[in-house]
């Protein structure tokens, strides 16, 4: 099979490794290379990339822990990240890697902890020393989704946009490069780098704030830039950086909103095929979402919401597949990409698998980009299906919200978000942390690009919808939200089983040769399911919500299962109802399990503060309305506490006297910038701060009155 990873090749690589005489002092730290990655199926003990292998399958051939003994799994050790600044606990979203008995765990900001994989003892810890006030630039906190190991180095992106190469033995920086083109814009870096041949590639985030997406390749040894690929064109008047964006510009209005960057950021996991020597890149959503504001005459708007195959030697595009031409619903294609071989029409095909936000599961030929299969795995009404001849979606006019509000499936949270799915190449089954949920979309008349202000040109609501729009959901399927663990046959395009979840924003999945699928949940459990039936056979109570994907490894004949627990990310700082954060403090933890392990210590109990007596302020209704608008634009992305959600950030509706006294100094002057609360004096005036005071005072009085009534 051309382009496949042949069994003979894997065995040859494995034999070559086995025949090498080890150095007297043992293997060098972080000693990962092409031969070793190609041998992962025969050397099952390691977990060498975020997805374990070159295919990023998140499947492990280990089977010492299996369906018959999984109920005996308990805690082996714990590492407390305590990854917080001030009073805020940042989420943990990555999957650690294990190389030769050392675990390399990514953390918030782009930090790294190297740990003994059997005890959790710290070998070294790296802190990128990001200015805490940089959190203002991002939508979802200073999270990090992965690192890469290669020939004695650890490669990781920092939240403020530096790609760093660390010595795997010491954690010292070998080199550090700035990946951002314009630091005045709201770029962040949250995704994992990808090793592709002799370069390391990193993208960026920030598309919701109005930036232009791109990826950059750097020399593995020196950090020297090799090439850069822009995922959307810039203003044609400034010229084109490479031929692909010149072609893409033909699918955009010449009078597009160039000043807004247009989006297309690459913030998810990439994948690399070492035989075809192709780098696979998933691109993000548009900016602004409504195409009538972004590209008024329409067009496909390449390369938004696309899968790109790029030659890593040159940075040239080999093929592309766009999942959502003319994207208007925040349907990113940045979800994890898996490379494997499946039977299509009884013939083995080397394929690329992705279940992006738009609700369709795509099976593409990874050499050519040919569409082989695309069926919806959740409720979908933005399209009536995918045309198998053209590969294009069949539009549903009723999902276009330009002229009137529309209820659309899936929501902007997607049928599948960033939490990684897994795939068992032995059985041909994928396991997806899936969601069914509708969203109410309304267009706004005006789009006025303002840097550092997200989500412009539209208004949208997740269920339950505002009362005046509730009738729009009549006659539609259940608008949700509903989450479930889904087993999916990509070759046949059909569901095998599903297990409903009673919570939202659950973690990624791991599948093993022990016939196990393992997933962490928002309610703070690690659940073990039988892979062929979905039956839940064991649950471990963690007390900490999980969003990351679990992994497994083996040292000295003992199989371990590890997961990073700590909430934060796609909902910014808002903990969903029913999550573990309502009962326990949600600080970051790395939890590692084995057979016959112990109980998991629970975090301290969560204490919900009572509402202090509100300040004596004669509130003005006009200022309250203005303050509510300003709060939604600038504050709610972090301080999202509401009657429906708990927040990791301070609840500004419950400030005490000292907080009120220092309000202007904090909001406008940055008095708490060291704690992550940046100054907003360049965006807000003193009158704006006053309007915020009026709005927050009115909210505090409402809470105070409600609690006083309950107390009586």
- CA quadruple 454, 186, 288, 385: dihedral positive or negative? negative
Closest of 427, 146, 449 to residue 270, by C-alpha: 146
118, 557 Cβ separation under 8 angstroms: no
Q: H-helix or E-strand containing 233?
A: none
Pick the catalytic residue from 208, 273, 300, 330: 330
The per-residue b/e assignment along 372-393, b for 16 or more CB within 10 angstroms, e otherwise, is bbbbbbbbbbbbeebeeeebeb
Query: Which DSSP symbol is given to 205?
Result: B
Q: How far, in whole angstroms, is CA 642 from its chain's centroid?
A: 24
Query: Which DSSP symbol is given to 582?
Result: G
Q: Specify the pairing of strand 148-150 against strand 173-178.
A: unpaired
Annotated active-site residue 127? The verdict is no
Rounded distance, CA 52 to CA 512, Å?
A: 11
Q: How far is CA 56 from CA 49, 197, 201, 353, 492, in A?
A: 7, 16, 16, 10, 21
Rounded distance, CA 264 to CA 332, Å?
A: 8
Rounded distance, CA 37 to CA 52, Å?
A: 9
Closest of 537, 544, 538, 585 to residue 564, by C-alpha: 544
Q: How far, in whole angstroms, is CA 639 from its chain's centroid?
A: 20
Q: Strand (E) positions, 599-650?
A: 646-647
The three-state secondary structure class of 42 is coil
Rounded distance, CA 393 to CA 342, Å?
A: 23
Rounded distance, CA 148 to CA 236, Å?
A: 36
Q: Which residues contact 292 (CB under 8 A, 6 or more apart)?
A: 402, 443
Residues annotated as part of the active site: 330
């Amino acid at each position: 099979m051309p382009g496949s990873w042949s069994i003979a090749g894997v065995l040859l690589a494995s034999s070559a490794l086995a025949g090498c005489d080890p150095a007297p002092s043992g293997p060098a730290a972080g000693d990962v290379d092409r031969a070793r990655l190609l041998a992962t199926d025969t050397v099952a003990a390691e977990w060498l990339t975020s997805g374990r292998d070159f295919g990023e399958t998140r499947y492990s051939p280990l089977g010492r822990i299996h369906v018959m003994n999984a109920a005996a799994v308990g805690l082996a050790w714990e590492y407390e990240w305590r990854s917080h600044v001030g009073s805020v606990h940042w989420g943990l979203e990555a999957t650690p890697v294990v190389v030769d008995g050392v675990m390399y765990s990514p953390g918030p900001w782009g930090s790294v902890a190297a740990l003994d994989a059997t005890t959790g003892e710290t070998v070294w810890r790296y802190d990128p020393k990001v200015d805490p006030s940089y959190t203002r630039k991002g939508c979802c906190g200073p999270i990090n989704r992965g690192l890469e190991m290669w020939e004695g180095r650890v490669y990781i992106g920092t939240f403020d946009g530096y790609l760093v190469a660390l010595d795997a033995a010491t954690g010292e920086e070998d080199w550090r490069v700035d990946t951002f083109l314009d630091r005045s814009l709201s770029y962040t870096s949250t995704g994992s780098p990808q090793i592709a041949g002799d370069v390391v590639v990193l993208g960026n985030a920030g598309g919701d704030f109005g930036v232009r997406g791109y990826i950059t390749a750097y020399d593995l040894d020196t950090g020297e830039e090799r090439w850069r690929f822009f995922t959307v064109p810039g203003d044609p008047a400034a010229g084109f950086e490479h031929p692909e964006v010149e072609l893409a510009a033909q699918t955009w209005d010449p009078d597009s909103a160039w000043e807004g960057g247009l989006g297309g950021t690459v913030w998810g996991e990439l994948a690399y095929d070492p035989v075809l020597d192709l780098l696979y890149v998933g691109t993000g959503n548009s900016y602004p979402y409504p195409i009538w504001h972004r590209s008024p005459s329409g067009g496909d708007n390449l390369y938004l919401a696309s899968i790109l195959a790029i030659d890593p030697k040159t940075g040239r595009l080999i093929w592309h597949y766009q999942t959502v031409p003319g994207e208007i619903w925040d349907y990113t294609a940045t979800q994890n990409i898996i490379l494997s071989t499946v039977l299509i029409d009884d013939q083995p095909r080397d394929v690329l698998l992705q279940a992006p936000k738009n609700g369709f599961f795509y099976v593409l030929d990874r050499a050519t980009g040919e569409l082989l299969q695309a069926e919806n795995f959740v409720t979908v009404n933005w399209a009536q299906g995918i045309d198998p001849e053209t590969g294009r979606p069949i539009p549903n006019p009723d999902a276009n919200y330009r002229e009137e509000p529309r209820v659309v499936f899936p929501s902007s949270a997607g049928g599948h978000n960033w939490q990684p799915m897994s795939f068992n190449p032995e059985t041909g089954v994928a396991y997806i942390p899936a969601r069914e949920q509708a969203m109410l979309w309304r267009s706004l008349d005006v789009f006025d690009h303002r840097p550092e202000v997200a989500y412009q040109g539209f208004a949208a609501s997740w269920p339950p919808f505002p009362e005046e729009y509730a009738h729009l959901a009549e006659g539609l399927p259940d608008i949700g939200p509903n989450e479930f663990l889904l087993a999916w046959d990509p070759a046949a395009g059909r569901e095998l089983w599903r297990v409903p979840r009673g919570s939202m924003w659950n973690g990624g999945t791991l599948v093993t040769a022990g016939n196990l699928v393992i997933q962490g949940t928002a309610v703070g459990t690690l659940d073990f399911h039988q892979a062929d039936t979905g039956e839940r056979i064991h649950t471990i109570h963690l007390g900490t919500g999980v969003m990351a994907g679990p992994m497994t490894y083996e040292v000295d004949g003992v199989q371990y299962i590890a997961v990073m627990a700590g909430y934060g990310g796609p909902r910014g700082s808002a903990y969903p109802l029913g999550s573990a954060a309502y009962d326990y403090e949600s600080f970051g933890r790395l939890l590692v399990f084995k057979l016959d392990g112990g109980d998991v210590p629970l975090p301290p109990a969560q204490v919900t503060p009572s509402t202090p007596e509100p300040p004596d302020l004669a509130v003005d209704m006009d200022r309250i309305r203005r303050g509510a608008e300003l709060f939604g634009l600038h504050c709610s992305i972090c301080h999202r506490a509401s009657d429906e959600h708990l927040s990791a950030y301070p609840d500004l509706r419950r400030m005490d006297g000292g907080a009120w006294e220092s309000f202007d100094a904090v909001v406008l002057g940055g008095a708490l910038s060291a704690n992550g609360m940046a100054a907003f004096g360049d965006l807000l005036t003193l009158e704006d701060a006053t309007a915020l005071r009026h709005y927050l005072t009115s909210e505090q009085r409402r809470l105070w009155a409600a609690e006083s009534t309950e107390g009586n």
